[in-house]
Each structure stands twice: as structure tokens, then as C-alpha cells.
Amino acid sequence: KQLYPDEGEPRYSGVNMWRGVTRWQPILSGATMIRAGWLKTGKLVHYPIRNRVDAQGRQLVNWLWEIETPEYKRWDWNRAASVEDFIRDVQSWKFDWLDVPAFFRAAEVVLEYPMVDKDPLPAWSFGRVTLLGDAAHPMVPRGSNGAGQAILDARALADCLQKHSDRTAALKDYETQRLQPTSSVVLENRRNPPDAVLREVYERTGDRPFRSIDEVISVAELKALTDRYRRVAGYDQAALRR
């Protein structure tokens, strides 16, 4: 706020997110990450974060539920919430391997987050002060990119501080390396997030059931969607080797 006092409020994406951690018996492989549905009707993200947390052999499972909520007005961040706030959209999500409503209701704490970001900044470094992570490039949290891009920032900043004896020059070099790539991620997360395949399947099927993903989208198309985002985010092998 000191560097950009007139920046204004965050930009709401039109999507609201609830998240929590549930103790639950392992499902499928026991290490399966699930992304299911799409934002129009509700999207689930589910992945285990710790094994064997009790005598019953249950896991700690992190989960997210996201759904388009265009008229959302509550801007509190990290607000305590209830499963009942969104469970009506999930009642039919019952599979042989997971009863989603029961899974959500087993969470002890539920938090609510509006999915927000801000437009890319023109500069980060001001003399011996610079920005990093969410302070530099707040983005809609897709594909854990808030954390991922902050890690890449930290690596670049450490390299620049080691390279330059002049701290001001080091911070400018860091900005030169990271500002444009992270700005691209902010904008790409709005247009084509890393889970864009879910959108493609939703649009092609009209949200109707299908037997095999191969009936809907080819392996080549799946790879192209994934590779595009990796390049933008800087997660492709060539970028990470540099």
C-alpha cells in the first residue's frame, strides 16, 4: 500500500471457493488427486496431505469446492464458513469410491475465500525495496501458483543478490527476470487456467455423462493444454533448468 496507495480493491473473478481438511479413509490408489466438475456447476479438488493420522488408518485430505457466484459481496478473506453454505450443489455427488457430501460434512473447519487477483504492476523494485510473491503478483489460486511463483521469485532474488554487489541493481535485475513472467501467469489464470481441460470437457459434453475421456478430447489436445500452461508458468523442463 505504501508503494501503490491508489491501487484499489482486488478484482473478483466471479468464483467463490470453500476449503477444508477432512479425516477420511484412503480412496482409489491412496495417493490420487481428483479434479472433477467445472465452475458453472461446481468443481471439486481433493488430495491427501498426510497418511495414517489415526488408529483407523485415515488420511488428512485437503479439499476445495469452487463455483461461480457472480453476485458475491462478502470480501472477507479466510472467513469461517459452513458446509451448508454450498452443500445443495453437491447432493448428487455420490460415487462408489467417495460420498462427497458426507466427506465435506466430516470436515471440522471450513473456510471461505473469494477468488480474487489484481492487475499486473508496472514495477516492483524501488531503490533497496522490492516486492515478492503475493505482494508482487496476487493471482487467482490455480494450480498452487501463488506458492509456486513465490518460490521462483525467491530463487531469482537470491541469484541476483549473489550476482550483484550493488543491491539496487540486484533488485532491478530480479524485477527484470520475474515481472513479465508472473504478469503472464496472472492473465493466463484468468483465461486458461491449468485445469482448463475440465472446462473443455464441460463445454464439449454439455455436462452430460460419457464413458471414456477419449470420446471427448484426444491425448494430443490434453498434452497441448498442459504444455501451454507449463510454458507460461515457467514449469516446463527447459525453464526450470535455467
Question: For residue 51, what are the domain limits?
Answer: 11-117
What is the rounded radius of gyration, in angstroms, for the C-alpha atoms of the chain? Answer: 20
CATH number of the domain encompassing residue 100 = 3.30.9.30
pLDDT-derived band at 242, boundaries 50, 70, 90? low
In a domain, 23, yes or no: yes
User: What DSSP element (H or E) covers 159?
Assistant: helix 145-163
Helical pair 167-191 and 219-233, crossing angle rounded to 10 deg: 150
Residue 91 in domain? yes
Any domain includes 236 = no
d(CA 51, CA 153): 31
| pLDDT of res. 238 | 63
Residue 239 has pLDDT above 60, yes or no: no
Residues 137 and 129: their CA atoms lie apart, in Å, by 16
Residue 155 within a domain: no
Q: Is the pLDDT of residue 187 over 80?
A: yes
Tell me the torsion sign for CA atoms 234, 239, 240, 242: negative
Q: How many domains does the chain have?
A: 1
Residue 141 lies in a domain: no
Q: Classify residue 158: in a domain, yes or no.
A: no
Q: What is the pLDDT of residue 142?
A: 79
Q: What is the pLDDT confidence band of residue 139, given thresholds at 50, 70 and 90?
A: very high
| Tally of CB atoms within 10 A around 170 | 21
pLDDT digits (tens, 9 = 90+) for 99-130: 999 999 999 999 999 999 999 999 999 999 99
Greatest CA separation for the chain: 61
